[in-house]
A and B are shown apart, each in its own frame.
Chain A
Amino acid sequence: MTEQLPMPTPPPSDESGCGTSRRAFLGTAVATVATALTGCGKLSKEEFLQHHFKELSKDEVATIIARLEAEYKEKYHKTVKVGTEGPIPGVIFGYGLDLSRCIGCRRCVHACVKENNQSRSPEIQWIRVLQMDKEDGVNLEHAEQYYNPAEVPQEGHFYMPVQCQQCKKPPCIKVCPVGATWKEKDGIVVVDYNWCIGCRYCMAACPYGARHFNWGEPHLDAADVNPDTHYLGNRPRPKGVVEKCTFCIQRTRGKEQRYTACVEICPTGSRKFGNLLDPKSEIRQVLETKRVFKFKEDLNTQPTFFYFYGV
């Protein structure tokens, strides 16, 4: 006969069930508070508990991608593919911009917005084109972003488009308190939109104004959605996080290794792109035959984005 216990012991299965439900309850409770903090009431427990992208296992990544794709399907009523292609071995991307050819038409700005699913209202633009006075050279005190003449280029001016310079020593990465932004092996600086806390320290640190914040809920019409996306790139973003140019990671890392949208659209051929490690690439040709300079070189951010005067 077994000894009589003062209290009945619940069967083990019951106990574990109780423990699980308590844990589940706690998780749900915390997620509910967090949902209240997002102010939109759409935060799932899975999303709340999702960990840093680089610390996820392959299975976890697959689950997250499936969740995101389902979310986008529901929101935009079309199939959005969220890729996770990694860097291609032996590739470091470089970019060249010919200041003597650029006419300031801003086609690149709008092609970028279209390709990368930026919020249309308020509109976020990853490329900003500066109109400069010819007699002042590159001088930010005289730079104008809101030029709006009937025709470009305007007499006495030249144009300098600025976007993420994909620095070798990016000050934005250094300052991020949660490591939500990092440099990939192919040189692209990326942001995990599901890990960013929206402190905007990286924006203060960036000398190029290349980082942009989703001040409100991003508005993107279903018809405007580019369904070919990448997790670290142009997938639709949530409110309250920072985003930036990723050299069209969804294109440049894809099987066809397409050009970035800005390179493709440029009517004057001012934009050059390619693999810095490939001696025959276009960008290496630029480095070989033209004299290049880096924007704000004195800050030692070491951009892989080169400006040059082609003619």
Chain B
Amino acid sequence: MVNVRNFKNFIVDTATLMATGSRIYYMWVGFLLVLIAMGGIAYANQLHKGLLVTNMRDQVSWGFYIGNFTFLVGVAAASIMLVIPAYVYDWGPIKEITILGEMLAVTALIMCLGFVMVDIGRPDRFWHIMPLVGHLNWPVSMLAWDVIVLNLYLLLNWFVVTYLLFSAYLEKHYKKALVLPLVLLSIPMAVSIHTVTAYLYNGLAARPYWNSAILAPRFLASAFCSGPAVLLILLQVLRKTTRLQIKDEAIFKIAELMAYTMGFNLFLTAAESFKELYSGTEHMVYFKYLLFGIEKNGVHYNTLVPFAWASIITGFVAFLLFLIPKTRTNWVTLNIGCVLIYSSVYIEKGMGLIIPGLTPDALGEIYVYRPSFTEVAVTMGVFALGALVFTIMLKAAVPMMLGEFTISKGRMAAKADPETEPVQAH
């Protein structure tokens, strides 16, 4: 029966599942908590002294935080790489694991909101941006749009995940009439969150590096490379460590789709580079700063050059590994490819998007930005928070997905386990 009482049991049981586990589980959670605490201390210091403790300044007014935010919006959007084959093409093997993509989306979005929160100068005024309560400058500001679509996408994914797990918990099949429209809705929504995020930068005529029509397509293409790379590794870990069955063909199918998006991503990057470098207008200076460095007053500024080429080379090698069927279906080369493409996109979004967009600045000044210790520590804290959220979600979700933990079996199983704390009877 779907009722409030059952839902309360579901919540209590989920919390119990999350709170109990093996020694390795506790060690992992403990490790993440330590990282979160370190990030928290760094953030408290930043709150106290202001964003002065970052290396951002008027010239480069956005940096590592916003780069990570942008990257993670892509990861969140990429969950539809599982949804499309599963639901649009009704491909069975992936269907059972789409929920993992949705949980990854929820996690990535929580981290996104975390990165925005740590970046703003007055987090105490967060309520100013809330519709109705505050004064949201919608529809003019792209940031207002972003706030709306990101939160809606978070809600949507959170609801679908909770509903699917609750159904499994009740030993019932989920209502297809409810889930299918929502899952299908998540496809345009995933595209929209990353498009709107690209438009944040795209709409600024003051920054020629971002003011390019293919920015949004580039965002999507790169997101559909990096997001699934996380999932591919995760799926292999899960089927080794749990009884979750994930077919090889599901993994290889995702890898094949990734090969296409990676090819497209490289093509778009090449198209953008050609336009900038061949026409050679004054707007080329940002690209030049990224790829070759620029010279001013006898000083050669080339901080980003190694990162830029690392991103291009790793992206290209990963593309080859995914393109060739032999390396795509070999676990070693497949996983190397995953790591390479993830690094490629992470560098491209983290360092290669924001910083050259703002260097040289609006008046031609070159300020060399590198993230400060505080920025790195806070970023680590936010990633650890994401890892914690994802870990505890998986901890509860996997046994429910397997049907091992349900309303009838759940607490009995918990009671039988001598390691877990006794569950209070209701």
A262-285 near B? 1/0 per residue, CB < 8 Å: 000000000000000000000000
Instruction: Name A's interface SS.
Output: loop
- Chain A residue numbers with a CB within 8 Å of B364 are 130, 140-143
A203 to B204, CA, bound (A): 10
Task: Decide if A70 is an interface residue (CB 8 Å cutoff).
Answer: no
**B121 near A214: Cβ-Cβ < 8 Å:** yes
**A203 near B61: Cβ-Cβ < 8 Å:** yes
B203-232 near A? 1/0 per residue, CB < 8 Å: 111110000000000000000000000000
Question: In A34-81, which residues have CB < 8 Å from any B CB?
Answer: 34-40, 43, 48, 51-52, 55
Task: Decide if B144 is an interface residue (CB 8 Å cutoff).
Answer: yes
- Chain A residue numbers with a CB within 8 Å of B47 are 36-39
Chain A CB within 10 Å, residue with most, of B48, B124, B205? B124
- Chain A residue numbers with a CB within 8 Å of B134 are 52, 178
- Chain B residue numbers with a CB within 8 Å of A197 are 120-122, 125-126, 128-129
- Chain A residue numbers with a CB within 8 Å of B38 are none
**Given contacts A35-B124, A171-B204, is CB(A216)–CB(B49) below 8 Å?**
yes
A209 to B365, CA, bound (A): 10
A115 to B361, CA, bound (A): 27
A84 to B155, CA, bound (A): 42
- Chain B residue numbers with a CB within 8 Å of A206 are 206, 362
Chain A CB within 10 Å, residue with most, of B52, B59, B206? B206
User: Which of A171, A178, A242 is in CB contact (< 8 Å) with B205?
Assistant: A171
**A204 near B62: Cβ-Cβ < 8 Å:** yes
**Given contacts A145-B365, A175-B143, A177-B144, is CB(A37)–CB(B124) below 8 Å?**
yes
A204 to B121, CA, bound (A): 15
Task: Decide if B363 is an interface residue (CB 8 Å cutoff).
Answer: yes
Question: In B116-152, which residues have CB < 8 Å from any A CB?
Answer: 116, 119-126, 128-129, 134-137, 140-144, 147
Chain A CB within 10 Å, residue with most, of B47, B119, B203? B47
- Chain B residue numbers with a CB within 8 Å of A143 are 363-365
**B206 near A214: Cβ-Cβ < 8 Å:** no
**A179 near B365: Cβ-Cβ < 8 Å:** no
Residue of B at shortest CB range from A174?
B140
**B58 near A209: Cβ-Cβ < 8 Å:** yes
**Given contacts A204-B204, A215-B50, A216-B52, is CB(A141)–CB(B121) below 8 Å?**
no
B54-88 near A? 1/0 per residue, CB < 8 Å: 10111101100000000000000000000000000
**Given contacts A176-B137, A197-B120, A209-B58, is CB(A171)–CB(B50) below 8 Å?**
no
**A141 near B119: Cβ-Cβ < 8 Å:** no
B103-120 near A? 1/0 per residue, CB < 8 Å: 000000000000010011
Task: Decide if A205 is an interface residue (CB 8 Å cutoff).
Answer: yes
Task: Decide if B244 is an interface residue (CB 8 Å cutoff).
Answer: no
**B135 near A239: Cβ-Cβ < 8 Å:** no
Question: In A126-141, which residues have CB < 8 Å from any B CB?
Answer: 128, 130, 140-141
A8 to B4, CA, bound (A): 31
**A177 near B362: Cβ-Cβ < 8 Å:** no
**Given contacts A141-B285, A171-B205, is CB(A212)–CB(B58) below 8 Å?**
yes
**A204 near B207: Cβ-Cβ < 8 Å:** yes
**A215 near B52: Cβ-Cβ < 8 Å:** yes
Task: Decide if A162 is an interface residue (CB 8 Å cutoff).
Answer: yes
**Given contacts A178-B137, A205-B206, is CB(A213)–CB(B362) below 8 Å?**
no
A50 to B147, CA, bound (A): 22
Task: Decide if B413 is an interface residue (CB 8 Å cutoff).
Answer: no
Size band of the B side of the interface? 35 or more
User: Which of A142, A179, A240, A242 is in CB contact (< 8 Å) with B50?
Assistant: A240
Question: In A1-54, which residues have CB < 8 Å from any B CB?
Answer: 34-40, 43, 48, 51-52
Chain A CB within 10 Å, residue with most, of B44, B50, B54, B122? B122
Task: Decide if B358 is an interface residue (CB 8 Å cutoff).
Answer: yes
- Chain A residue numbers with a CB within 8 Å of B203 are 175
B28-60 near A? 1/0 per residue, CB < 8 Å: 000000000000000010111111101011110
- Chain B residue numbers with a CB within 8 Å of A130 are 363-364
- Chain A residue numbers with a CB within 8 Å of B141 are 174-177, 201
**B143 near A177: Cβ-Cβ < 8 Å:** yes
**Given contacts A43-B124, A214-B121, A241-B122, is CB(A195)–CB(B135) below 8 Å?**
yes
User: Which of A34, A51, A141, A177 is in CB contact (< 8 Å) with B129?
Assistant: A177
**B363 near A213: Cβ-Cβ < 8 Å:** no
Task: Decide if A310 is an interface residue (CB 8 Å cutoff).
Answer: no
User: Which of B121, B296, B362 is in CB contact (< 8 Å) with A209?
Assistant: B362
CB distance from A85 to the nearest CB of B (A): 23
CB distance from A306 to the nearest CB of B (A): 18
Chain A CB within 10 Å, residue with most, of B123, B141, B200, B365? B141
**B128 near A178: Cβ-Cβ < 8 Å:** yes
User: Which of A37, A142, A213 is in CB contact (< 8 Å) with B58?
Assistant: A213
Task: Decide if B22 is an interface residue (CB 8 Å cutoff).
Answer: no
**A177 near B137: Cβ-Cβ < 8 Å:** yes
A217 to B61, CA, bound (A): 17
**B143 near A214: Cβ-Cβ < 8 Å:** no
Chain B CB within 10 Å, residue with most, of A36, A175, A214? A175
**B128 near A195: Cβ-Cβ < 8 Å:** yes
Task: Decide if A88 is an interface residue (CB 8 Å cutoff).
Answer: no
- Chain B residue numbers with a CB within 8 Å of A38 are 47, 122-124
CB distance from A28 to the nearest CB of B (A): 14
- Chain A residue numbers with a CB within 8 Å of B122 are 38, 196-198, 240-241
CB distance from B193 to the nearest CB of A (A): 16
A198 to B147, CA, bound (A): 15
Residue of A at shortest CB range from B141?
A177
A141 to B361, CA, bound (A): 10
**Given contacts A37-B47, A39-B48, A177-B137, is CB(A213)–CB(B61) below 8 Å?**
yes
**Given contacts A195-B128, A197-B128, is CB(A178)–CB(B136) below 8 Å?**
yes
Task: Decide if B101 is an interface residue (CB 8 Å cutoff).
Answer: no
Q: List 15 A-B contacts (CB under 8 A).
A: A36-B47, A37-B47, A37-B126, A43-B124, A128-B363, A130-B364, A175-B142, A175-B203, A177-B144, A197-B120, A199-B119, A213-B58, A215-B51, A216-B51, A216-B52
**Chain B interface (Cβ within 8 Å of chain A)?**
44, 46-52, 54, 56-59, 61-62, 116, 119-126, 128-129, 134-137, 140-144, 147, 200-201, 203-207, 282, 285, 296-297, 357-358, 360-365
* 5 A-B pairs closest in CB distance: A198-B121, A240-B121, A39-B47, A140-B364, A216-B52
Given A176-B141, A199-B119, A204-B206, 20 further pairs, Cβ under 8 A: A38-B124, A39-B49, A141-B282, A143-B364, A144-B297, A171-B205, A175-B141, A177-B144, A178-B137, A179-B135, A197-B126, A198-B125, A200-B62, A200-B119, A203-B61, A207-B205, A216-B49, A217-B49, A240-B121, A241-B121
